[in-house]
Amino acid sequence: MTDLTQFGVKDIRDGVRDGSFTAREVAESFNAVVADAAALNAFIVTTPDHAIAAADKVDAARAAGETLGAMAGVPIGMKDLFATHGVQTTAASHILEGFIPRYESTVSQKLWDAGAGMLGKLNLDQFAMGSSNETSHFGNVASPWRKSGSNQPMSPGGSSGGSSSAVAARIAPAATGTDTGGSIRQPAAFTGICGIKPTYGRCSRWGIVAFASSLDQAGSMARSVEDCAIMLGAMSGFDPKDSTSLQMDVPDWEGALNADLRGKKVGIPREYRMEGTDQAILDSWEQGKAWLRDAGAEIVDVSLPHTKYALPAYYIVAPAEASSNLARYDGVRYGLRDLPDGSGLQDMYASTRAAGFGDEVKRRILIGTYVLSAGFYDAYYTQAQKVRALVARDFERAFQECDVILAPTTPTASFPLGENVDDPLAMYLNDVFAVPASLAGLPAMSVPATINAGLPLGLQLVGRPFDEQGVLNAGLAIQQRAGFKAVPEKWW
């Protein structure tokens, strides 16, 4: 029998629809490879029963002649930042260990409604804070990829590192991710998969453990542009429970996919040529231009003059919001409570939060608290908001001259686990190309371009607000020309 785990979202959906195989067969196949992949540590908990139950429902619906949903029969990995009813939701933190929500996030509910099932809750950087998946309370996630000639475990990127690792290792056809400052795109680039963050507001944030509310966006991570489009379509849509949700119809992205870019202009931001960027990355960027030119696009130079201020601004805005968003983890109502003998309320707060949060989370809470403090607010927070507005204006102006922007996703390929853990600034630099689009709330995607020294490299596409289609189409043009077919060799 065919190995069903070789299929992605579209192939599974179509195969289940036309009866080539059953959803249950698909779920069982993936459950088996998930169970066999503990060495990756991609999952915090596995939920084989959820996948089987969803599959059986799809098979029954098909047998009854019902119309099947967009994700029918596709078992996926769910980043453990999405609240899932009856299934532990931790944000990879100790403070939420054992927390079992009695509610389902809007995005996960939409996926189940579309016929998807859940293989398990995917590991991530704690509270989505990290770029290497080394801040999880539940241990590091390993990338399935290894550098040529090395057995060193490599980072799958972060924060959606469990998602990228699982999809790249073919133990999940697709996974949800969230992207606050590159948390979908950077891990996708590190692991040779596709990942798209839509326009801010496309996906409801209701039921997603908040990191930085004005930046957090859910998105899809999968093996192909088509798969990302299908899954994102199932995740998106207005939600009255999220005030920042976009009140717009969700286009048929899959149906409108078109790699013919004639008449389109692709912008190359000159400020993205930064020192410290690997030559291999610069080469792949050049290659990307050639591919898009080949697809009929005109390549134009654009300027995003405030790019160099984006990362510092991000590391003020995001921690500021996080410091407030994470105040609710106080040991009073749910999750961890550390109550030393004879202690009062303040001691309980301090003790619970000291024990429940990891170092990176504490670092960001401290930074955020500092930048919002009386006397520092204007110098940091207000200033960062101004920068944010300028970054957004940069894009607005650039998009008067082009339809989509092409840039590297990251300045380097994946690095060995442990390499950057003691240098937060070096770690933060991973997101230097990803953060500007996040600050501006724009749709952005990473697609695999090539392999260098055994490790995948990604290219990033950034579009106008609401123009996920333009991003997906340019991504498709690259995908077709890159012919990225590499699969990591199984070592786990």
Residue type, 394: D
- Residue 145 · residue 154 · CB < 8 Å: yes
Among candidate residues 79, 121, 197, 264, the one labeled active-site is 79
| Rounded Cα–Cα distance for residues 432 and 244 (Å) | 25
225: Cα separation from own chain's centroid: 14
Among candidate residues 136, 155, 183, 284, the one labeled active-site is 183
Among candidate residues 159, 163, 220, 414, the one labeled active-site is 159
Binding part of the chain for another protein, among 82-90, 220-228, 275-283, 405-413 by CB under 8 A, reads: 82-90
Q: Does 142 bind another protein (CB under 8 A)?
A: no
- Would you call 183 a catalytic residue per the annotation? yes
- Would you call 163 a catalytic residue per the annotation? no
- CB-based contacts of 386, cutoff 8 Å, min separation 6: none
Among 2, 39, 66, 241, binds another protein (CB under 8 A): 241
Binding mask 369-388 for another protein (x = CB under 8 A): x--xxx--x---x-------
- Would you call 245 a catalytic residue per the annotation? no
CB of 159 to another protein, least distance (A): 16
Selection from 126, 136, 133 nearest residue 166 by Cα: 133
Q: Which is nearer to another protein, 125 or 403 (CB)?
A: 125
Among 334, 363, 454, 481, binds another protein (CB under 8 A): 334
Cα angle value 405/406/412 (rounded, 5°): 135
* Residue whose pair of structure tokens reads 């102006």 in the numeric block: 397
CB of 377 to another protein, least distance (A): 7
Q: Does 214 bind another protein (CB under 8 A)?
A: yes
* Residue whose pair of structure tokens reads 């992205």 in the numeric block: 253
Q: Does 103 bind another protein (CB under 8 A)?
A: yes
Q: Does 238 bind another protein (CB under 8 A)?
A: no
Two tokens, residue 213: 């509310």
CB of 214 to another protein, least distance (A): 4
- Residue 168 · residue 488 · CB < 8 Å: yes
Q: Residue 368: what are its φ and ψ, rounded to 5°?
A: -65, -40
Q: What is the DSSP letter of 368?
A: H
Check the CA dihedral 31-33-38-40 and report its sign. Answer: negative
Catalytic residues: 79, 159, 183
Q: Which residues bind another protein (CB under 8 A)?
A: 82-83, 89, 91, 96, 99, 101, 103, 105, 205-210, 212-214, 240-244, 320-321, 323-324, 326-328, 330, 332-334, 345-346, 349, 369, 372-374, 377, 381
